């Protein structure tokens, strides 16, 4: 006999934690095996397993004893499925790049979805059936699912610090196996769980096959070079950093075509299989090499105190040191890059990270420059990973308008901000940089913007320089001498006669000059230019931190319509994958709600009540996910570190929701509608003021900011945990499968909401997502109020 005890609560928490941990770890694994956007899509579809469990319960509507049997079986199945799923997934040879035209890939994709969805279905079924047993007080067990998930999110990050993602992915199976002992001691289920745990342990010690890195990434390509060998790895929550030594590997973004000197021997550095820099042997003649990279342009102005945001494995520092900088602040997100760069530096060419003039700061550039006040003669930053639209969905607070204002504020009088990035045709990122930099100079009250902006381009890069106090004639002469000797063109500088320019590197259109002209004329002219440009080039902001998103939705649709997807290679894949996830989840979720409802019309609640039920739980599922995504996006800016902040905030939100759910058990039914309405109004306030509050708090110390994050998120999370528990309490008294419908509609709506919230944030900003979540909670409150008195006690 299964009783609703603290043991069952702990079992539910373990299963829930295992489910969340598996989700997070799968995203890490898929980020290596595929690309980030595909990972998010695949996992979101797998999460449909949560909804499927609800559908199964709604359809079968098992009586109490049968429900107990199901609970035992699904708990027992969780561990083996969690252990087998990652193994099976590795055997499916999916090539996601071929999905648009190869029907065979669709079959593999479907197989992958099923493989991934199975453990989520088992975990979710066990949680749902346990909650169903707690007839009058479901909040306690529902709260336990939140608390388990919160613990799962934190423990996952800790696990990723200790072991690679492809091993850590087997840990959730162990947690699930432990949960079974709290549910039953019957030999059958226990043996199944032990088998799952055994399989997981084998995976944990490395018996599983190695991950297959996506063959389109740079790492496998470089691995095919003669004499190539992987010399070191570092694993962490941020990503997998690998170093590859290959004599034929070369990393020289935009190297001047005038350079005829020696090329340094390099070891490539890769994060999740994508090249991010190189460790270079700059001994002897190869030391000259760094003076011929376009990122060296601002060093023609002889800065002494330099901040390098993003180190390219040390190349950025070598440029600064090679030009005689006295002090360099090296800001690097990945600790593994610094560690490997130090370790792999050849004896004849010591690592720049070990140079006494260099101070290394690990973390997010924005957070570090919030506390490092400088002042600097030069702040230099790369343009981010804007390759082929693969990163269009990547949140990046380092290239927003507010970030550039911060960098400018950290400059000494006469200091320069430099942004260098690869060029696209037609220019997109470069045009956005010009508009963003000029706008930032204007916002911080710089003198005439036309004197404070310089734009230069090489055959493959664009560099934008900004100085709030303006550049003088000597500066311009120094830059002209540098660019002329390197075959680089100056497109804009104070006093430029654009008609007299004769570029060495012809781009085919004068977009850079037009952008600089508009950007320096006035804010209105810059906005008008951006509006008339064929790509989305308005500056990214903290509310819409997507600096690599350039294609309007209409353009993407037009590309999809082209014969054989002729233009698809030029599309932005992140938004396409997110949109595909929305459509797939909406269709599959809709079918999984509607078909059983039709098939079981005689045994489901009357249509009106059924629709209200599905509407209520669907709305709060949608709202919870939307509010979670938007609030965490804004608050991670407050805490600074993209992974640890998200994990911490997620744990806080889930814990607060768990406590809210438990608290709701002790409150009368009539409080449900007012609390949901209060939640909606709180989110309206968040939509209006949270981001402004975050930006105002950025200069505060870390502990004050952490406290502020806690104060902001905890009450909201607490309230967010109540509507589901309250709604559920009404339903558990019924024997018509209503709990299953509630669970299914809530889960399916959450799955649709996750990618949809990302798309809305990209197009309209995170405050808009919070606004939508608020509206959904307010509608849910109205539905709850309308259904007051149901069911009769």
Binding site for other proteins (CB under 8 A): 215-218, 221, 224-228, 246, 248-255, 257-260, 263, 275, 387-390, 422-425, 459-460, 487, 504-508, 564, 566, 569-570
Q: For residue 94, give the nearest of 230, 239, 218, 212 by alpha carbon.
A: 212
d(CA 325, CA 332): 18
- The token pair at 633 is 């996006």
Closest to other proteins by CB, 458 vs 636, is 458
In the bound state with other proteins, the residue whose beta carbon lies nearer, of 296 and 361, is 296
Q: Among residues 422 and 771, whose Cβ is nearest to other proteins? A: 422
Is the CB of 198 or the CB of 487 nearer to other proteins? 487
Taking the alpha carbons at both ends of the chain, their separation in whole angstroms is 27
Instruction: Supply the minimum distance, in Å, between the C-beta of residue 456 and other proteins.
Output: 14
Distances (CA, A) of 582 to 415, 635, 759: 46, 25, 10
Shortest Å distance, C-beta 248 to other proteins: 3
Minimum Å distance from CB 291 to other proteins?
15
CB-wise, 185 or 502, nearer to other proteins? 502
Q: Taking the complex as a whole, how short is the minimal distance between the CB of residue 246 and other proteins, in angstroms?
A: 7
The edge-to-edge listing of strands for the beta sheet with 411-422 is: 358-362, 327-332, 305-309, 376-382, 411-422, 461-466, 453-457, 489-492
Nearer to other proteins, 139 or 253 (CB): 253
Give the residue from 331, 352, 301 showing the smallest Cα distance to 410.
331
Q: Which is nearer to other proteins, 266 or 766 (CB)?
A: 266
Pairing mode, strands 305-309 and 327-332: parallel
Give min distance, CB of 43 to other proteins, in A.
22
Nearer of residues 118 and 514 to other proteins, judged by Cβ:
514
SS3 of 268, please?
Answer: strand
Q: Least distance (Å) from other proteins to the CB of residue 104?
A: 14
Token pair recorded at residue 175: 């947690």
Please report how close the Cβ of residue 31 comes to other proteins at its closest, in angstroms.
15
Q: Which is nearer to other proteins, 373 or 509 (CB)?
A: 509
Q: How far is the CB of 102 from other proteins (least distance, A)?
A: 11
Among residues 471, 517, 523, 469, which one has the least CA distance to residue 491? 517
Give the position of tokens 């590309």. 559
Q: Provide the minimum distance between the beta carbon of 122 and other proteins in the complex, in angstroms, as a whole number.
A: 36
Residue among 500 and 566 whose Cβ is closer to other proteins:
566
Among residues 639, 589, 578, 635, the alpha carbon closest in space to that of 763 is found at 578
Give a three-class secondary structure readout of 285-322.
Answer: HHHHHHHHCHHHHHHHHCCCEEEEECCHHHHHHHHHHH
Nearer to other proteins among residue 253 and residue 596 (C-beta): 253
Q: How far is the CB of 555 from other proteins (least distance, A)?
A: 14
Specify the residue, 228 or 653, whose C-beta has the smaller distance to other proteins: 228
Q: How far is the CB of 272 from other proteins (least distance, A)?
A: 13
* SS3 sequence of 742-764: HHHHHHHHHHHHHHHHHHHHHHH
Q: How far is CA 520 from CA 410, 423, 437, 503, 670, in A?
A: 22, 21, 10, 21, 59
Quote the least distance from Cβ 128 to other proteins, whole Å.
42
Q: Residue 512 in contact with residue 427, Cβ under 8 Å?
A: yes
C-alpha dihedral (420, 421, 427, 428), degrees to nearest 10 = -100
Q: Cα-flanking dihedrals φ and ψ of residue 279, to 5°?
A: -95, 120
How many whole angstroms separate alpha carbon 168 and alpha carbon 22? 9
Tokens for 781, please give them: 């409150």
**Smallest distance, Å, CB 432 to other proteins?**
17
**Taking the complex as a whole, how short is the minimal distance between the CB of residue 569 and other proteins, in angstroms?**
5
Q: Rounded to the nearest whole angstrom, what is the least distance from the CB of residue 388 to other proteins in the complex?
A: 2
Beta carbons of 746 and 620 less than 8 angstroms apart: yes
Which secondary-structure segment (H or E) carries 90?
helix 64-91
Closer to other proteins at the Cβ: 97 or 681? 97
Q: List Cα–Cα distances, 254 to 26, 260, 359, 378, 740, in angstroms.
A: 36, 14, 27, 20, 58
Measured from the CB atom, the residue of 278 and 613 that comes closer to other proteins is 278
E strand or H helix at 510, and its extent? none
Q: How far apart are CA 9 and CA 422, in angstroms?
A: 53
The span from the CA of 540 to the CA of 403, in Å, is 10
SS3 at position 540: coil
Nearer of residues 292 and 724 to other proteins, judged by Cβ = 292
């Amino acid at each position: 006999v299964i009783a609703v005890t603290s043991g069952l609560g702990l079992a539910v928490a373990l299963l829930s934690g295992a489910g969340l941990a598996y989700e997070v770890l799968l995203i890490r694994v898929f980020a290596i095996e595929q690309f980030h956007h595909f990972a998010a899509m695949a996992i979101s579809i797998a999460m449909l397993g949560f909804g499927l469990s609800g559908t199964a319960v709604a359809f079968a509507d098992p009586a109490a004893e049968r429900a107990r049997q199901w609970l035992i079986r699904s708990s027992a199945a969780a561990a083996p499925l969690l252990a087998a799923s990652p193994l099976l997934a590795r055997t499916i040879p999916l090539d996601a790049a071929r999905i648009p035209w190869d029907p065979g890939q669709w079959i593999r994709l479907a197989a992958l979805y099923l493989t991934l969805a199975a453990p989520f279905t088992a975990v979710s079924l066990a949680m749902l059936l346990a909650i169903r047993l707690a007839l009058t007080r479901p909040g306690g067990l529902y709260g336990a699912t939140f608390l388990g998930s919160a613990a799962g999110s934190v423990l996952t990050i800790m696990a990723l610090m200790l072991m690679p993602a492809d091993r850590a992915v087997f840990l959730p199976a162990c947690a699930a196996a432990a949960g079974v002992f709290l549910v039953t001691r019957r030999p059958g289920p226990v043996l199944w769980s032990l088998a799952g745990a055994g399989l997981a342990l084998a995976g944990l010690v490395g018996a599983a096959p190695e991950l297959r890195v996506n063959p389109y990434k740079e790492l496998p390509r470089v691995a095919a070079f003669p004499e190539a060998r992987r010399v070191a790895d570092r694993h962490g929550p941020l990503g997998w950093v690998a170093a590859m030594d290959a004599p034929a590997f070369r990393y020289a973004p935009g190297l001047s075509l005038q350079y005829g000197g020696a090329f340094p021997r390099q070891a490539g550095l890769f994060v999740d299989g994508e090249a991010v820099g190189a460790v270079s042997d700059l001994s002897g003649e190869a030391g000259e090499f760094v003076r011929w990279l376009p990122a060296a342009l601002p060093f023609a102005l002889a800065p002494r105190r330099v901040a390098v945001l993003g180190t390219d494995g040390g190349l950025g520092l070598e440029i600064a040191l090679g030009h005689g900088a006295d002090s360099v602040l090296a800001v690097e997100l990945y600790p593994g890059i610094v560690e490997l760069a130090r370790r792999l530096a050849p004896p004849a060419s010591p690592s720049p990270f070990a140079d006494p003039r260099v101070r290394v700061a690990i973390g997010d550039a924005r957070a570090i420059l919030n506390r490092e006040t400088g002042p600097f003669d030069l702040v230099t930053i790369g343009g981010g990973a804007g390759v082929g639209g693969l990163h269009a969905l990547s949140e990046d607070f380092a290239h927003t308008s507010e970030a550039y204002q911060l960098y400018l504020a950290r400059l000494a009088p006469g200091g320069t901000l430099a942004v260098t990035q690869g060029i696209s045709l037609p220019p997109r990122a470069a045009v956005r940089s010009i508009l963003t930099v000029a706008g930032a100079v204007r916002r911080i009250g710089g003198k005439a913007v036309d004197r404070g902006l310089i734009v230069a381009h090489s055959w493959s890069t664009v560099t934008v320089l900004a100085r709030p106090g303006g550049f003088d004639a000597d500066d311009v002469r120094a830059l002209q001498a540098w660019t002329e000797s390197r075959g680089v063109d100056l497109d804009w500088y104070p006093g430029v006669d654009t008609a007299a320019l004769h570029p060495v590197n012809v781009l085919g259109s004068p977009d850079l000059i037009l952008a600089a002209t508009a950007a320096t004329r006035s804010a209105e002219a810059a906005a008008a230019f951006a509006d008339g440009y064929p790509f989305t080039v308005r500056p990214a902001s903290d509310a819409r931190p997507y600096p690599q998103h350039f294609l309007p939705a209409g353009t993407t649709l037009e590309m999809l319509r082209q014969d054989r997807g002729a233009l698809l290679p030029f599309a932005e894949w992140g938004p396409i994958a997110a949109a595909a996830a929305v459509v797939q989840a909406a269709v599959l979720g809709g079918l999984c709600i509607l078909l059983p409802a039709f098939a079981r019309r005689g045994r489901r609640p009357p249509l009106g009540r059924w629709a209200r039920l599905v509407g209520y739980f669907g709305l709060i599922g949608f709202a919870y996910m939307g509010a979670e995504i938007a609030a965490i996006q804004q608050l991670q800016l407050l805490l600074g570190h993209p992974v640890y902040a998200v994990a911490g905030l997620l744990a806080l939100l889930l814990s607060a929701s768990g406590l809210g759910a438990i608290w709701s058990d002790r409150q009368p039914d009539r409080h449900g509608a007012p609390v949901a309405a209060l939640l909606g109004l709180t989110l309206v306030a968040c939509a209006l003021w949270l981001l402004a509050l975050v930006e105002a708090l950025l200069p505060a110390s870390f502990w004050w900011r952490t406290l502020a994050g806690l104060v902001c998120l905890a009450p909201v999370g607490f309230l967010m945990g109540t509507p589901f528990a309250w709604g559920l309490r009404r339903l558990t008294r019924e024997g018509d499968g209503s709990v299953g419908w509630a669970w299914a509609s809530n889960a399916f709506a959450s799955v649709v909401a996750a990618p949809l919230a990302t798309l809305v944030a990209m197009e309209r900003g995170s405050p808009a997502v919070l606004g939508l979540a608020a509206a959904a909670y307010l509608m849910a409150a109205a539905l709850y109020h309308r259904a007051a008195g149901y069911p009769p006690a």
